[in-house]
Amino acid sequence: MSKSREEVVQMLIAAYGMELETVMNYIANSTNLDGVRAEEIKKSLGADIAAELMHAQQLGQRIKQLGGLVPGSLSVKFAGQTQPSSDTTDVVAVICAVIEAEEAACAQYNKIIKATDGDDYVTQDLCIRLLGDEEEHLVLFKGFLKEYK
């Protein structure tokens, strides 16, 4: 059963907030991390910032196309992702936070994909592509975590 257009817009707005929150946390972590072991993680996060920001832009465009309004800074609701650690050498905490954020994004995109099935192929296609990107990031950071276990 397909969801109403308003319900889909609300799910897209939630995903939009998740992407923006991820951008902020990736900027913080890619800047704050210290140590030789952190360099690869910092580089990867720095590279992912542009991709996550592009996701937010694409979601914003689709929200507008469906008749919704893209929320501004006072209206964005964040999901409450794990915040950057005050221990700037805690690479494992950063990796785990990234995995948590990517898993949440995958879950949200899967929810939208199911909700739009058979009804809104444009939104579904967008979310399938975004899901693929998030799954790629997830696999990368799960691989990083293996090095620490």
Residue extents of the structural domains in the chain: 5-146
Would the pTM count as exceeding 0.75? yes
Give the model's pLDDT for residue 3.
Answer: 61
Contact between 117 and 124 (Cβ < 8 Å): yes
Helices assigned H by DSSP within 33-90: 39-65
Reported as a single tens digit per residue, the pLDDT across 83-101 is: 999 999 999 999 999 999 9
Task: Map residue 10 onto helix, strand or coil.
Answer: helix
Query: How far apart are the C-alpha atoms of 26 and 97, rounded to whole Å?
Result: 10
> Within the chain, how many helices (H) and strands (E) appear?
4, 0
Contact between 79 and 17 (Cβ < 8 Å): yes
Contact between 129 and 11 (Cβ < 8 Å): no
Contact between 9 and 67 (Cβ < 8 Å): yes
Contact between 46 and 34 (Cβ < 8 Å): no
Reported as a single tens digit per residue, the pLDDT across 101-133 is: 999 999 999 999 999 999 999 999 999 999 999
The CATH number of the domain covering residues in 5-146: 1.20.1260.10
